Amino acid sequence: MSQSIYEKYGGFKAISRIVITFYEMALDSEEIGFHFENIDLPRLIDHQTKFVSSLVGGPASFSDDRIEAVHRHLNISHAHFDEMSALFREALEMHGMAEEDVNLAIDAIEEKRSIIVTRNAA
């Protein structure tokens, strides 16, 4: 049985470091930084670490309904999602994840695009 990406790279702690790197870049992004102003970042990082962990074989799981509900009011556009995905790819690469595994992780995130991007967002 093959290891999940979650297990291969060190579990929750490793995913948490990747998520922290992502948010450092996202906060500096002119495209999506505004989404993270006036937000409880430690809480968001914890939730996002659990979410990303679930996408790459970790123990947490989130229903699509729940994911859609927490993003619905954020008016996330496809351009915002693209920027998030690019920054997340960069964070994964910065933490030494192999290209094949980066692609699998990004594909898992991409599968959630339709429930994260707000319908009719600009």
List the CATH number of the domain containing 92. 1.10.490.10
pTM check: above 0.85:
yes
The pLDDT of residue 118 is: 83
121 in any annotated domain: no
Could you give the number of structural domains in the chain? Answer: 1
Look up residue 72 and give its two tokens. Answer: 């619905």
Q: Which helix (H) or strand (E) holds 84?
A: helix 78-94
Please report, rounded to a whole number, the percentage of residues in the chain having pLDDT higher than 90.
Answer: 77
Give the residue-averaged pLDDT of 89-116: 96
Q: Which of 110, 16, 34, 39 shows the shortest CA–CA distance to 6?
A: 16
Domain assignment of residue 98, given as a range: 5-116
